[in-house]
Amino acid sequence: MLKSKTFVKKTRSGGVLKIVREHYLRDDIWCGSEVCKECKDEAPVLQEHACIESDLCSYPHYLIPDTNVLLHQIDILVDPLIRNVIILQTVLQEVRHRSAPVYKRIKDAIHEKEKHFYTFTNEHHRETFIEREQGESANDRNDRAIRVAAKWYTDHLAKKTNGGSLKVVLLTDDRANKEKAEQDGLIVYRCEEYIKSLIGNPELMDRLALQPDDQNEITGSKLLFPEHLPLSRIQSGIKNGMYLQGTFHANRDNYLEGKVFINREGEEINEVLLQGLQNLNRAVHQDVVAVELFPKERWVAPSSVVLQDDSPNDEDADEDETENNVNPIRSFDYSSVLKPTGRVVGVIKRNWRPFCGMLSQSMIKEATRHLFTPADRRIPRIRIETRQAANLVGQRIMVAIDGWPKNSRYPNGHFVKNLGSAGDKETETEVLLLEHDVPHQPFSQAVLSFLPQMPWSITEEDLKVRADLRHLCVCSVDPPGCTDIDDTLHCRELENGNLEVGVHIADVSHFIRPGNALDQEAASRGTTVYLCGKRIDMVPELLSSNLCSLRTSTLRLAFSCIWEMNHNAEIIKAHFTKSIINSKASLTYAEAQMRIDDSNMNDDITKSLRGLNRLAKILKSRRIAKGALTLSSPEVRFHIDSETHDPIDMQSKELKETNSMVEEFMLLANISVAQKIYDEFSECALLRKHPSPPPSNYDILIKAAKSRDLNILTDSAKALADSLNNATVENFPYFNTLLRILATRCMMQAVYFCSGMDSDFHHYGLASPIYTHFTSPIRRYADIIVHRLLAVAINADSTYPDLMDKHKQTALCNNLNYRHKMAQYAQRASVAFHTQLFFKNKGIINEEGFILFVRKNAIIILIPKFGLEGAVFFDHKDKPSPRLSFDSEGPTLKVEEHTFRMFDKVKVTISLDASNIQHQRIRMALVEPVIPGVSVPVPESEPEAKKPKLDC
Partner 1 sequence: MAGLELLSDQGYRLDGRKASELRKVQARMSVFAQADGSAYLEQGNTKALAVVYGPHETRGSRSKSLHDRAVINCQYSMATFSTAERKRRPHGDRKSSEMSLHLKQTFEAAVLTELYPRSQIDIYVKILQADGGNYSACVNAATLALVDAGIPMRDYVCACTAGFVEDTPLADLCHAEESGGGTALALALLPRSGNIALLQMDARLHQDHLDALIEAAMTACKGVSKVLDGVVRQHLEEVSVLTRD
218 residue type, one letter:
I
Of the two residues 21 and 365, which places its CB atom closer to partner 1 in the complex? 21
48, 78, 119, 218: which one binds partner 1 (CB under 8 A): 119
Region of 118-126, 362-370, 427-435, 892-900 interacting with partner 1 (CB under 8 A): 118-126
Lay out the site mask for partner 1 across 17-56 (x = CB under 8 A, - = otherwise).
xxxxxxxxxx------------------------------
Among 123, 174, 428, 519, binds partner 1 (CB under 8 A): 123
Exposed/middle/buried for residue 38 (C-beta within 10 Å: 0-12, 13-18, 19+): exposed
DSSP secondary structure string, 477-502? EE-TT-----EEEEEEE-TTS-EEEE
Binding of partner 1 by 341 (CB under 8 A): no
State which of positions 515-554 bind partner 1 (CB under 8 A). 515
Rounded distance, CA 693 to CA 766, Å?
14
- Indicate which single residue of 68, 73, 84, 89 sits in contact with partner 1 (rule: CB under 8 A): 89
Q: How far is the CB of 14 from partner 1 (least distance, A)?
A: 10
**Binding segment (CB under 8 A) for partner 1, from list 11-19, 161-169, 195-203, 463-471:** 11-19
Tell whether residue 809 is a contact of partner 1 (CB under 8 A). no
Q: How far apart are CA 803 and CA 18, in angstroms?
A: 36
Kindly tell me which residue out of 633, 798, 841, 888 binds partner 1, with binding defined by CB under 8 A.
Answer: 798
Smaller CB separation from partner 1, 2 or 337: 2
To partner 1, the closest distance from the beta carbon of 33 in angstroms equals: 15
Q: Residue 118: name the closest of 179, 64, 72, 76 by CA.
A: 64
Nearer to partner 1, 529 or 785 (CB): 785
Concatenate the DSSP letters of all residues of 806-855 into one string: HHHHHHHHHHHHHHHHHHHHHHHHHHHHHHHHHHHHH-SEEEEEEEEEE-
> Cα(811)–Cα(795) distance, rounded to whole angstroms?
26
Nearer to partner 1, 2 or 138 (CB): 2
Over 330-349, what HEC string results?
HCCCCHHHCECEEEEEEEEE
Distance CA 616, CA 172 (A): 68
Taking CB under 8 A as the criterion, the residue among 241, 481, 801, 937 binding partner 1 is 801
CB of 761 to partner 1, least distance (A): 27
**Candidate residues 72, 107, 623, 689; the one interacting with partner 1 per rule CB under 8 A:** 107
Rounded CA-CA distance 502/564 in Å is 9
Closer CB to partner 1, 4 or 600, in the complex: 4
Q: Cα separation of 570 and 564, whole Å?
A: 8
Output the smallest distance, CB 27 to partner 1, in A.
11
Of 72, 115, 116, 124, the residue at the interface with partner 1 (CB under 8 A) is 124
Round to whole Å and give the CA distance between 191 and 173.
6
Rounded Cα distance between 628 and 720, Å, is 9
In single-letter form, the type of residue at position 59 comes to: Y
Which window, 116-124, 294-302, 474-482, 839-847, contacts partner 1 (CB under 8 A)? 116-124
Q: Is 449 in the site for partner 1 (CB under 8 A)?
A: no
Cα distance between residue 119 and residue 121, in whole Å:
6
DSSP state of 453: P
Quick one: 135 exposed, middle or buried, by C-beta within 10 A (0-12, 13-18, 19+)? exposed
Determine the size of the site formed for partner 1 (CB under 8 A): 29
Give yes or no for residue 428 binding partner 1 (CB under 8 A).
Answer: no
CB of 735 to partner 1, least distance (A): 56
In the complex, minimum distance from the CB of residue 71 to partner 1, in angstroms, rounded to a whole number: 13
Say how far apart CA 288 and CA 244 lie, in whole Å.
10
* CA dihedral over 119, 123, 129, 134, signed as positive or negative: positive
**Cβ(771)–Cβ(688) below 8 Å:** yes
Rg (CA), the chain: 32
Instruction: Give residues with Cβ within 8 angstroms of 241, minimum separation 6.
Output: none
Interface region with partner 1, contact rule CB under 8 A, candidates 2-10, 48-56, 432-440, 881-889: 2-10
Rule CB under 8 A: say whether 444 interacts with partner 1.
no
Q: Which residue stretch of 565-573, 795-803, 823-831, 909-917 sits at the interface with partner 1 (rule: CB under 8 A)?
A: 795-803
The DSSP call for residue 356 is E
Can you tell me the distance from the alpha carbon of 29 to that of 773, in angstroms, rounded to the nearest whole number?
49
Rank residues 109 and 631 by Cβ distance to partner 1 and give the closer one.
109
Task: Establish if 575 lies at the interface with partner 1 (CB under 8 A).
Answer: no
Q: Which is nearer to partner 1, 98 or 387 (CB)?
A: 98
CA distances from 779 to 507, 511, 608, 899 (A): 12, 14, 26, 47
Please report how close the Cβ of residue 149 comes to partner 1 at its closest, in angstroms. 14
Neighbours of 335 (CB within 10 A): 9
Among 12, 37, 40, 97, binds partner 1 (CB under 8 A): 97
Q: Tell me which stretch binds partner 1 (CB under 8 A): 1-9, 261-269, 474-482, 892-900.
A: 1-9
Using CB under 8 A, which of 34, 48, 96, 871 touches partner 1? 96
CB 618 → partner 1: shortest distance, Å?
Answer: 44
Q: Which of 22, 460 has the CB closer to partner 1?
A: 22
- State in angstroms the smallest separation of the CB of 402 from partner 1: 21
Nearer to partner 1, 783 or 797 (CB): 797
952 is a site residue for partner 1 (CB under 8 A) = no
Write phi, then psi, for 875 (nearest 5 degrees). -120, 135
Q: Does 2 bind partner 1 (CB under 8 A)?
A: yes
C-beta separation of 806 from 757 below 8 A: yes
Is residue 944 within 8 A of residue 935, CB to CB? The reply is no
Part in contact with partner 1 (CB under 8 A); list of ranges 121-129, 347-355, 540-548, 776-784: 121-129
- Helix locations, 598-683, DSSP H: 604-626, 657-680
| Residues making contact with partner 1 (CB under 8 A) | 2, 4, 6, 17-26, 89, 96-98, 100, 107, 110, 119, 121, 123-124, 515, 798-801
